[in-house]
Structure 1
Amino acid sequence: MKPLKNVLFIDDEMHIRQANRQTLELADFEVTCHESAEDALRVLNDGWPGVVVCDIRLPGMSGIELQRKLHEEDSDLPIILITGHGDVSTAVQAMRDGAYDFLEKPYSSERLVKTVSKALEKRMLTLENRALRTELETYSLPGPRFIGVTPATQGLRATIAQIADTDADVLLVGETGTGKELVARLLHEHSRRRNQNFVAINCGAVAENMIESELFGHEAGAFTDARTARVGKFEHADGGTLLLDEIESMPMQVQVHLLRVLQERAVERMGSNRLIPLDLRVVAAAKVDLKEAAKEGTFREDLYYRLNVVCLEIPPLRKRREDIPLIFHHYLLVASHRYQKEVPMPKQAQVNLLMAYDWPGNVRELRNLAERYVLLGAQFNWSLERMMSGGGARQITSLPDQVDAFERAILEQALASHKGVIRDVMASLSIPRKTLYDKLRKYGLDKNDFK
């Protein structure tokens, strides 16, 4: 997490607000000022990444009352109170009630900056611990994992954690092999529906004349060869989650029927007049931009807007290259266990090639390569170089970029090899602890991601 700089300053006197804003901005803080506690309440929310500096005596709501209200929502939010001489005992009591500190007028610029700096350090630690707890809770649940440490990957995991235990339908957009089904399973496994069915159907793999029967089911005699009744995918997923993969391939006439099912949350089997109520979450996945497909007339616009309650864009590997060594290492371990073979760690030159390749097949292609590495052993270099000669390699011309990519890859490999144990990483790289932590911070690496 980057150092926090947000300060919300509240005082009803303009010259005090201006003077304190100038002092704090000269110290490189980002300052927002308000003249009343009521105005400040409108912008503050649970998890606000900063601290509050507030005068005790304000027209309307006092600083003490503001503290009480803010701590009802977030008891860890640091609040620094400004007091006059007669308010010191009140401020001391406020500190017993949870205020971070108080500044007695007149206070020096140095005292203000020092107090705010320490409060922001405390706030950053609190937010980091919350994020870590959330991540640990997510990883302690059974089911699949979306691996990576880049901001794009962490942002996607955070969104999944936020929406997983809701009933909102979700639209997943991403290239082939980016992990759309994996994300759908994550949404299912981390929701209250985890003990019910997860049902996936590839709309592009079902014959056009059979897809309605596959999705909605049919009664006996509904069409030729329908000798018995059949439960469709929607009914089978009742209580759970239904993934409609490659939904852009669904025929237009079926899209009409699908829209009605989504709106009414009920399905009517082919050959029947009876509506069967449904309780399920629908996750749709597409390889193309459905909004553009709607403009081109190949996808119904009303269905697109109905599906697009929450849209998650899954980044391709070329947009999160720093995740590649970690993902490759994960699939090496999986393949090693499957084939019962010892796996030597890839050499740094091989890791650099992995990070330079554009991976048109994304994670699926990387996973297949990891299996070949385990199976082929010494022949792996030849296989990898042949793959690179197909034109997928990215040329990195900037020397600083090459150095950074090389250094980061070495750090990730060392962390993975030693399962995030810092002293072992220090020993293997022959660098002091402070240097190692500085480099981990530079590249946004967290030792806990490698345990």
Structure 2
Amino acid sequence: MTTDTAIDSRIQVVLIDDDPHLRQALSQTLDLAGLKILPLSDATGLQARIERDWPGVIVSDIRMPGIDGLELLNQLHAHDPELPVLLITGHGDVPLAVQAMRAGAYDFLEKPFASDALLDSVRRALALRRLVLDNRSLRLELSDRQQLSTRLVGLSTPIQRLRDQIGALAATKADVLILGETGAGKEVVARALHDLSNRRAGPFVAINAGALAESVVESELFGHEPGAFTGAQKRRIGKFEFANGGTLFLDEIESMSMDVQVKLLRLLQERVVERLGGNQQIPLDIRVIAATKEDLRHAADQGRFRADLYYRLNVAPLRIPPLRERGEDALVLFQHFADAASLRHGLPRHELQPGHRAMLLRHTWPGNVRELQNAAERFALGLELELEGAAQANMPSSSGGLSEQVEAFERALIAAELTRPHSSVRSLAEALGVPRKTLHDKLRKHGLTFSGGGSDDNE
């Protein structure tokens, strides 16, 4: 074997046999059946060429010079125990083949065998492989959803929509522009995009452009060579280059100077970086996630931000809803952060009282999730629950009549109770102090669903 490149995902069968006549005959059989095959004379280096989720199967002779079929089986299954390996054996090798089956081989064929027997075994192995990979994909998708639900806590429609958008974008190569107010969780979203992507093994480099002095921002981002400017005594690797193979998160992008914006635009278009004072163009394999709390289109109209950079970044925008638009999520998040703080400090868990819930629901949260998290920390420490500007925020909202406000408050209380562990509908109804039938009616009315333990509707 003369190459170490990965096996093409379109190849369905890798056929390994050192006998050229048998290899040619088996190749013709598989080819005539419409299967895409890769015939090889030996198994040297094969394990390194097969990626874990390669969708094909292996057909290999047992008796071969160098790596024999049994050793190949062990190598491949050390990397992926669910990869189907079919072994071809002579009559005298049947005991060895049985040993291989016990070691995890999918099947073995004793020479001489009919073409139909080979095709039947290969097709069944391919069907099994597809099922295995589908299950893996489903488990990964469920795991990703659980990760997102843990990181972006909430039941509201806006936060569910955001989780769906992150799930759709994470696996792509697209650069992303995150739009959100201060404290809304822009870095949390950026890290989720990285951790759910194919770049998760690479670096995640976060930098706040607004916190960098204008005199050092270019050096920090692009790096520099010795002598590039006064005081530049050694080569410096910039953040973009350091993030190669991973993700660079650039927050407060609106604060960047026009000169830096020009360089960023070129980097995004050409995927190369040039250190200050240098001439070498360094190719980059990175994903850039930018974030801003400003309306960049408005800033571009005012001449404070380059319009071409705005349009380059705005291909895949993600808007983080402010907490005031997320309704009952304030209760869910508050209890989540308070419980985490209690656990961290070794303190007993504090339950939110109705008065606390009313205060949290009516507050406008100018500091968004960051403000709420700080309030939850203080609450977990046993301090009085005080919110900045709460006297004004707790006044009844002027939007909607009394009945609309009561219904909204009722839905929020039920939704908050749904986030707590309940073994049955009965326990949920008891916690809310309503009959089960009334609870069912209210769940339907507000579009909520109980997803806890077993139902006791028929009791």
In which range does the TM-score fall when normalised by the shorter chain? 0.5 to 0.7
The structure-2 alpha-carbon separation of the partners of 1:237 and 1:186, relative to structure 1 and needing over 3 Å to count, comes to: same
2:356 matches 1:355 = no
Deviation at 1:144, TM superposition (A): 5.9
Match of 1:164 in 2: 170
- Give the counterpart of 1:246 among 221, 227, 252: 252
Checking the alignment, whether the CA contact within 8 Å between 2:247 and 2:286 is kept in structure 1 is yes
Match of 2:457 in 1: none
Checking the alignment, whether the CA contact within 8 Å between 2:239 and 2:248 is kept in structure 1 is yes
Q: Secondary structure at the match of 2:430?
A: helix
- Give the counterpart of 2:303 among 291, 297, 306: 297
Match of 1:155 in 2: 161
Match of 1:3 in 2: none
- Give the counterpart of 2:445 among 427, 431, 442: 442
Deviation at 1:430, TM superposition (A): 4.1
Percent identical among aligned pairs is 52
Deviation at 1:322, TM superposition (A): 1.9
Superposed, 1:364-375 pairs within 5 Å as 364-375=370-381
Checking the alignment, whether the CA contact within 8 Å between 1:142 and 1:189 is kept in structure 2 is no
The structure-2 alpha-carbon separation of the partners of 1:358 and 1:140, relative to structure 1 and needing over 3 Å to count, comes to: closer
Deviation at 1:332, TM superposition (A): 0.7
Superposed, 1:22-421 pairs within 5 Å as 136-141=142-147, 145-377=151-383, 379-380=384-385, 383-384=386-387, 387-389=389-391, 391-393=392-394, 395-397=396-398, 398-418=401-421, 421=424
Separation in 2 of the partners of 1:449 and 1:250? Answer: 49
Separation in 2 of the partners of 1:365 and 1:359? Answer: 7
Off by >4 Å, runs of 4+ in structure 1: 132-135, 141-144
Deviation at 1:440, TM superposition (A): 2.6
Matched to 2:390, the amino acid is M
Matched to 2:215, the amino acid is N
Matched to 1:204, the amino acid is G
Matched to 1:348, the amino acid is P
Matched to 1:427, the amino acid is E
- State the Cα RMSD in Å: 2.3
Match of 1:80 in 2: none
Deviation at 1:133, TM superposition (A): 8.6
Unmatched 5+ stretches in structure 2: 1-137, 454-459
Separation in 2 of the partners of 1:317 and 1:236? Answer: 34
Deviation at 1:417, TM superposition (A): 3.3
- Give the counterpart of 2:426 among 418, 423, 428: 423
The structure-2 alpha-carbon separation of the partners of 1:225 and 1:448, relative to structure 1 and needing over 3 Å to count, comes to: farther
Separation in 1 of the partners of 2:155 and 2:149? Answer: 19
Q: Deviations over 1:126-156 (max 9, x none)?
A: xxxxxx9997342344896111111111111
Separation in 2 of the partners of 1:393 and 1:429? Answer: 23
Deviation at 1:392, TM superposition (A): 3.8
Separation in 2 of the partners of 1:297 and 1:348? Answer: 50
Between 441-450 and 198-207, report the one with greater CA deviation: 441-450
Deviation at 1:339, TM superposition (A): 1.6
Separation in 1 of the partners of 2:330 and 2:423? Answer: 17
**TM-score normalized by the length of structure 1:** 0.65
Checking the alignment, whether the CA contact within 8 Å between 2:245 and 2:286 is kept in structure 1 is yes
